[in-house]
With several copies, the nearest count.
Chain A
Amino acid sequence: MELVLNEDQELIAKTALDFVAENSPVSRFRELRDSGEERGYSAKFFREMAELGWAGIPFEEEVGGAGMGLAELCLIVEALGRNLAPEPFLGSVTMGGSTLALGGNAALKKAWLPSVIDGTKIVALAHQEAGARYDLFKIGTTATKSGDGYTLSGEKAQVLDAVGADAVIIPARTSGASGDASGITLFLVEKGVAGLSVQPQSRVDCRNAAIVKLEGVSCSEAAILGGVDGGGALLEQVIDRATVVLCAEMVGGMSEAFDLTLEYLKERDQFGVKIGSFQALQHRAGRVYMEVELARSTAMAAARALDTGDADAAKLVSLAKAKCSEAYVLATNEGVQMFAGVGMTDEYDIGFYMKRARAAELTFGDASFHRDRWAKLGNY
């Protein structure tokens, strides 16, 4: 695997950085937050980005995709992460889209993927329930056979980009006990069906998230992804992909947070000199620099490993999430500390990144979770 951008990738990266910086600087994120608008992003702006082909990057040409990989999608998401642009590339494009692409039958793919790709439809994946922490298989939601379909009941928590979604994919238990890898089935549930309610949640990072309640929602077998009782493996596969995309967002965020900090170190005066001239801060900044560089390498490697089906892929995904979680938290903790007083105020942007860092760390498993997974994969 080559850990360097080829010319096409260079171009995508530059385009994305310029476009997002110009059309969605952090000030836009702040306005969206202050507006209190529930969706938290602009559907119109998302469609504009989709028109640039961004939402189709990782999908096959036959469904309207660009037939590229996560490596390329990550370039887009890194630019979004840098500017905290809230459009649903993680929830809909990566999570909903990948589930459809990897587990959907022909009809489902045909019906949904093209509109996920052109940004006209949003499909979320309800991967977690309250109290489950990082256990994908801890699922209380049930799907019981009724006639030639199923009835779903249960509650999903913090479903990403579910507010305003046109459909939500619901992992439910068709057999086995909570915690089992088998006995999980994924259903695509369209908005508006009887018994489905979507309740927006307010998160520390303002990410679009909702409680999705299912009270006797009936689903046909045609809405099943990954086969009956076979959703567990699909779910893991999709979350590994989502984890890598989240890592790209984190790399973008930690890079911007570090840049903001360096700028401040160069402009803020105390004791008659720039605070960036204090050696203690210089050396700590040097440490942050190294951790950010390492995190970036792991994120690049993990994306490429998934694209090429590398045997080491799972380990590299855990490596990336662990390193990115630690580096993003370090970069933002140090950032706020170096901004000092004003870093604690809502008025400055550095605090946004600190909140985002924590939220990303606690999504899809934190560093200790992935250290544990790494050790298990290494037979110890």
Chain B
Amino acid sequence: MSDLETFRQETRSWLEANTPKSIIGANVTELDGTWGGKKATYANPDMKVWLDVAAEKGLTAPTWPSEYGGGGLDSEQAKVLAQEMKALKIPPPLVGFGLTMIGPTLLRFGNEEQKSEHLPKICRGEIRWCQGYSEPGAGSDLASLQTKAIREGDEFVITGTKVWTSYADQADWIFALVRDDSSGKKQEGITFILIDMDDPGVAVSPILLISGKSPFCETHLTNVRVPVKNVINEIGSGWTVAKALLGHERTMIADAFGGAGLKPKKKSTRSFLPDLAVTHLGLDGEQLADATMRGEVAQFEMDSRAFALTVQRTKDAARAGHQPGSESSMFKIYGTELNQRRFELIVRILGPDALGWEGEGFDESALNATREWLRSRGNSIEGGTSEVQLNIISKHVLGLPA
């Protein structure tokens, strides 16, 4: 029996033995997953138990080296672990930007001291992280950021405002881009630094969106004193670190929309959107009563399927060892636009019943759809606007002149 098979069986038995029964099959969404940190909350008490045993075993960060609290698994084993957890319906013990963003960044760019300082706390869910990139004046043009970092001895004194800092109000530490030097090209003089949000001078205020409440915050830094040893990579080399992380983020967003609109509803011969349309517009013979809507629903389903097939093609190619191209920009654009089209269609199918903001006389599901439609308008903006992605495609994929 192959080592991988042995590993699979060991893993399964360990999972069966150590996972609290109450959380098995628990449907954990992004929101009620375990994000950890000092203000940690848990969907149910056993999720805390599960976090601790999993962390102990190194399963919160399966592929990280064990000396930093990871599981030390290779990608094959990690895939097996994921498959087994899926099979047993076990929710992830821990989620969040520590695992997906700053952790990988530290592994690639951090020094020994930084890694042993921060990675174990991430693995154990003790510290929750957030990202401090964008600023009021620096959106698509991120490199024009102005948050000042003035060197004073072995400290940087940091002042500026970061926007779109997701979940900053619940985070303990923030990894931020700051400007230590304005003399050269704007991409130079940028430093990637880790800031303890308990430090004096850090203030967080949530951002209200057109769709209502949001995880986004504005994070104000006023003369925050940060030790120079918190700088990742070299001083002034922050742009390199940031770019690596941005491409990564783009892929995550694209993945999130990879399947847009393809969830078939149970107990129906139709997929979700056609079913919704038939429910609200009725049938005319065998066909959806509103012919125009019928065409639009079909067009959307077909574009979604074509997109999903393209995502699959890229993954199959990567698995077959082909160098991945710059597909992430295409996926970001098309995936987010599909999501927007999806909610726009849902809202148009519901018609006037979709006009509710809250309260009396509107279905909960319709109210959600409306909020989701509004929220989806941000998809083509956050994580690099569609325009920026098209610039990237034009330059890096099509090789058109600047």
Pair A380/B355 contact, Cβ less than 8 Å:
no
A319-B302, A346-B208 given; A157·B394 CB < 8 A:
no
> Which chain A residue shows the least CB distance to B143?
A271
The answer to the question of A120 belonging to the interface, with a C-beta cut-off of 8 Å to chain B, is: no
Within 8 A of A (CB), among B291-323: 291-299, 301-303, 305-307, 309-310, 312-313, 316-317, 319-320, 322
Q: Please tell me the size bucket of the interface on A.
A: 35 or more
Pair B306/A379 contact, Cβ less than 8 Å:
no
A202-B357, A346-B210 given; A298·B309 CB < 8 A:
yes
Chain B residues whose C-beta falls within 8 Å of the C-beta of A375 in the assembled complex: 274, 287-288, 294-295, 297-298
Pair A3/B312 contact, Cβ less than 8 Å:
yes
Smallest beta-carbon distance B211→chain A, Å? 8
Distance A344 CA – B163 CA, assembled complex (angstroms): 12
A158-B355, A375-B274 given; A266·B302 CB < 8 A:
no
Pair A130/B313 contact, Cβ less than 8 Å:
no
Chain B residues whose C-beta falls within 8 Å of the C-beta of A199 in the assembled complex: 360-361
> Which chain A residue shows the least CB distance to B164?
A341
Chain A residues whose C-beta falls within 8 Å of the C-beta of B355 in the assembled complex: 158, 203-205, 209, 358-359, 362-363
Smallest beta-carbon distance B391→chain A, Å? 7
Smallest beta-carbon distance B259→chain A, Å? 14
A133-B281, A266-B399, A266-B401 given; A380·B297 CB < 8 A:
yes
The answer to the question of A286 belonging to the interface, with a C-beta cut-off of 8 Å to chain B, is: yes
Smallest beta-carbon distance A321→chain B, Å? 10
State which of B26-34, B58-66, B227-235, B379-387 sits at the interface with chain A: B379-387
Pair A277/B313 contact, Cβ less than 8 Å:
no
Chain A residues whose C-beta falls within 8 Å of the C-beta of B313 in the assembled complex: 3-4, 296-297, 300
Pair B322/A380 contact, Cβ less than 8 Å:
no
Smallest beta-carbon distance B215→chain A, Å? 13
A133-B280, A201-B362, A368-B296 given; A358·B310 CB < 8 A:
no
Pair A371/B398 contact, Cβ less than 8 Å:
no
Pair A343/B286 contact, Cβ less than 8 Å:
no
B135-155 vs A, Cβ < 8 Å mask (1 yes, 0 no): 011011100100000000000
Pair A355/B210 contact, Cβ less than 8 Å:
yes
Chain B residues whose C-beta falls within 8 Å of the C-beta of A296 in the assembled complex: 310, 313
Pair A378/B330 contact, Cβ less than 8 Å:
no
State which of A14-22, A78-86, A104-112, A332-340 sits at the interface with chain B: A332-340
Q: Please tell me the size bucket of the interface on B.
A: 35 or more
Pair B306/A285 contact, Cβ less than 8 Å:
no
Chain A residues whose C-beta falls within 8 Å of the C-beta of B400 in the assembled complex: 262, 265-266, 276-277, 282, 285
Smallest beta-carbon distance A311→chain B, Å? 14
Distance A302 CA – B305 CA, assembled complex (angstroms): 12
Pair B286/A293 contact, Cβ less than 8 Å:
no
A276-313 vs B, Cβ < 8 Å mask (1 yes, 0 no): 11111111011101100111111011000000000000
State which of B111-119, B191-199, B345-353 sits at the interface with chain A: B345-353
Within 8 A of B (CB), among A93-117: none
Distance A266 CA – B294 CA, assembled complex (angstroms): 40
Chain A residues whose C-beta falls within 8 Å of the C-beta of B327 in the assembled complex: 293
The answer to the question of B134 belonging to the interface, with a C-beta cut-off of 8 Å to chain A, is: yes
> Which chain B residue shows the least CB distance to A282?
B394
> Which chain B residue shows the least CB distance to A318?
B302
Chain B residues whose C-beta falls within 8 Å of the C-beta of A343 in the assembled complex: 381
User: Which 5 pairs between the two chains have the least Cβ-Cβ distance?
Assistant: A351-B210, A368-B292, A282-B394, A3-B313, A4-B316
Question: Can you show 5 pairs from A to B with CB atoms below 8 A apart?
Answer: A201-B359, A202-B359, A282-B390, A295-B306, A380-B278
Beyond the given pairs A293-B330, A361-B348, A375-B294, 19 more chain A to chain B contacts, judged by CB atoms under 8 angstroms and listed by A's residue number, are A4-B317, A133-B280, A134-B351, A201-B356, A201-B362, A209-B355, A266-B399, A270-B144, A280-B390, A283-B391, A289-B393, A289-B398, A337-B386, A341-B139, A341-B164, A344-B209, A362-B352, A366-B348, A379-B269
